[in-house]
């Protein structure tokens, strides 16, 4: 009989995604992603700039320097310098053998641009708090 304190797989991987999100380099929000295949973490990603480049927390992002009045929620990310968590997790995976048929755990719903990347990478399922989507 499983222990009532032992988390199920979804809870376990969503908790890891939340921990990964804490590394996010954005003044507006931190997002985490965990790519899983066969109950094993294959890759993680958080939103931030390219390695070695100044990020939002260092004041380098034009979007991050604006107020929420100047950039309301849902505005386009045209002036954002960060790579999204989902994209980073897919970039750091070990090729198609890691992404094809995998599950991607996220701290929030992916944007339309990331959804395209997720489909192109062959991810089978996407999970974020309160939701599980079978990728087309």
**Can you tell me which residue has the tokens 């939701």?**
131
**Is 109 marked active-site?**
no
Return the percent helix, strand and coil in the chain, to nearest 5.
25, 20, 55
**Can you tell me which residue has the tokens 């719903």?**
109
Catalytic residue among 70, 86, 100, 109: 86
- Of 55, 45, 52, 127, the C-alpha closest to 88 is 45
Neighbour-count burial of 16, counting CB atoms closer than 10 A to its CB (0-12 exposed, 13-18 middle, 19+ buried)? middle
Let me know how many helices (H) and strands (E) the chain has, helices first.
4, 5
The catalytic residues are: 86
């Amino acid at each position: 009989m499983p222990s009532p304190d032992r988390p199920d797989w979804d809870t376990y991987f969503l908790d890891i995604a939340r921990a990964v999100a804490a590394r996010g380099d954005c003044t507006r929000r931190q997002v985490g992603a965990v790519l899983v295949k066969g109950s094993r973490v294959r890759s993680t990603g958080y939103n931030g700039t390219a390695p070695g480049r100044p990020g939002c927390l260092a004041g380098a992002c034009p979007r991050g320097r604006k107020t929420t009045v100047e950039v309301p929620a849902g505005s386009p990310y045209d002036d954002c310098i960060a790579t999204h968590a989902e994209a980073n997790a897919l970039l750091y995976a070990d090729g198609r053998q890691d992404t094809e048929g995998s599950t991607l755990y996220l701290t929030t719903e992916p944007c339309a641009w990331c959804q395209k990347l997720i489909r192109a990478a062959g991810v089978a399922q996407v999970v974020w708090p309160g939701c599980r989507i079978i990728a087309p």
